[in-house]
Amino acid sequence: MLKKERVFYIKEHLKLIKEAAFGFVYAKRQKKRRLINKKFKERIMLAVTEVNGCAMCSYVHTKLSLGAGMELSEIRNILGGNHDEVSDYEIVAVVFAQHYADSKENPSPESIETLREFYGYEVAELILNLLKVITLTNSMGINMNFLKERFLFKREKRSNFFRELSIIGLTFILFPLYFIYNIVSGTGRNQQKLLKNLWK
């Protein structure tokens, strides 16, 4: 069962747009390297979605997880905060993903260091960037759901019409701009070079 929807505010969403655009380009450029498989990726996405309580994202990522070959029982367990079926290799990332969402994208330095020590810098950086992307989509999904409920005369008491319209509108305007900037500036390529230098 999902937790109650987190309320994302305009100021924090603006930061999410910038970080997620970077993360999206970074993840796309690492895709061919197959650092993590689809199931692993979806487990991370589901873990964040469970904490943030995004019903819309839960529906979408349940379908994607099934398409990746995950069992429905495991998907339900992760969305309910139960990780019994998660492998020893992936559990560190899944628990970190929950901590990332619980801390509102401010994980402790110790947890980041643990992630990097366990997976190595390249996989850890990919996980961190995927978390940025799913957090943005959670914020969008929750605000879109608040707006939908308002139009159906089922307004959630925490709903704010101006905030929801602003978050949705700003995302459609700013995300493509940040996306283009990261494509042009070589996001992913530059970071890969830096990571290689760390191991020299």
The domains found in the chain, sorted by start residue, are 10-198 (1.20.1290.10)
**Per the structure block, which two tokens stand in for 113?**
């260091």
Hunting for tokens 């994208």 — which residue is that? 105
Structural element, H or E, at residue 116: helix 109-119
Residue 189: per-residue pLDDT = 63
What tens digit of pLDDT does each residue of 154-168 get?
Answer: 888 889 999 999 999
Mean pLDDT of 119-148: 96
Hunting for tokens 């500036």 — which residue is that? 185
What tens digit of pLDDT does each residue of 58-114 get?
Answer: 989 999 999 999 988 988 888 888 888 899 999 999 999 999 999 999 999 999 999
Reported as half-sphere exposure (CB side, CA atoms, 13 A), residue 128 has a value of: 21
Per-residue pLDDT for 20 more than 90? yes
